[in-house]
Structure 1
Amino acid sequence: MTDFLNDDSPAAVVRRQYLASAAGDLAALRATLADDVEWTEMAGFPLAGTYRTPTGVTSHVMEVLGRDWDDWTAHDDSYVVDGENVVVLARYTAVNKATGKPVDVRVAHHFVVRGGRIVRFEQFVDTALVRAAMTP
């Protein structure tokens, strides 16, 4: 386990980000992000936009997801790694707090990792399924 925690390979850095997110450990998640990170949530997604800085990402994305959803989790299923590029095929599961409706949707995430930190993230998701869970 220690080797994994000290591994700065792109896949290991991305994996630590998912583990920190699932545990709700925002400090550990911020530690995986570069100071000048660009984190893009897809157009049509409730949090659509590009966020910068580790604190900007966690306050505008992870904290909002935690506020609006119960048990929001990104399940990282498969990794495709090409140098500094890591594409993760995953799925989101959660229950919307306002409607009580669950969401279980497939997603793809593209990360760019340099120097042991995530410098760029882009999300691809069926935003209609997410929004349907938010609609009474």
Structure 2
Amino acid sequence: MTGPSDFATSPAPADVVRRQYIASADGDLEALRATLAPDVEWTEMAGFPLAGTYRTPEGVTSAVMERLAEEWDGWAAHDDTYVVDGENVVVLARYTATNKATGKDIDVRVAHHFTVRGGLIVRFEQFVDTAKVREAMED
């Protein structure tokens, strides 16, 4: 485990993933991109409004984070449990937000699988109850 002084630069997979969540929560897309490998593959689950696989740090933030901010107020991923196996980090979390079009809230459980190599996230896969998210988007 790393101490507070070296967390910001630690290449440990769980630390890299945690920095990604902190950057996302702060809306700091530059810091978020700094956690992603140039050839990152970021997959949003089939059935999720932003379903697909995105590549490059800029591609991920423009296609996912920026679009979430356009469509949802207060979108947040609350990470609570980390399971680490070498370069694999599985995070159990929940999403909370309010859909801008409908005013409906979500509070759904989610699992994220990250692969971290050389201090950067090279792969991400989302698992979420997509029906709950879509329900909040329907009038």
1:34 matched residue in structure 2: 37
* Amino acid aligned to 1:41: E
Q: Within 1, Cα distance between the matches of 2:18 and 2:89?
A: 10
Instruction: Tell me which stretches of 4 or more aligned residues in structure 1 moved more than 6 Å.
Output: none
2:20 matched residue in structure 1: 17
**1:5 match: secondary structure:** coil
* Amino acid aligned to 1:5: A
Q: Within 2, Cα distance between the matches of 1:113 and 1:76?
A: 17
1:83 matched residue in structure 2: 86
User: What are the ranges of 5 or more consecutive residues in structure 1 without an aligned counterpart?
Assistant: none
**2:95 match: secondary structure:** strand
**1:34 match: secondary structure:** strand
TM-score, structure 1 normalization: 0.99
Query: Shift of residue 2 of structure 1?
Result: 2.5
RMSD between aligned residues: 0.4
* Amino acid aligned to 1:122: E
1:36-55 superposed matches below 5 A: 36-55=39-58
Choose the corresponding residue for 2:117, options 105, 114, 117. 114
Note the alpha carbon deviations across 1:29-73, whole angstroms, 9 max, x for none: 000000000000000000000000000000000000000000000
Q: Within 1, Cα distance between the matches of 2:125 and 2:38?
A: 17
TM-score, structure 2 normalization: 0.97
Query: Shift of residue 6 of structure 1?
Result: 1.6
Q: Higher helix share goes to which structure?
A: 1
User: What are the ranges of 5 or more consecutive residues in structure 2 without an aligned counterpart?
Assistant: none
Q: Within 2, Cα distance between the matches of 1:43 and 1:111?
A: 17
Aligned length: 136
1:74 matched residue in structure 2: 77
* Amino acid aligned to 1:116: G
Note the alpha carbon deviations across 1:78-124, whole angstroms, 9 max, x for none: 00000000000000000000000000000000000000000000000
Identical-pair percentage: 78
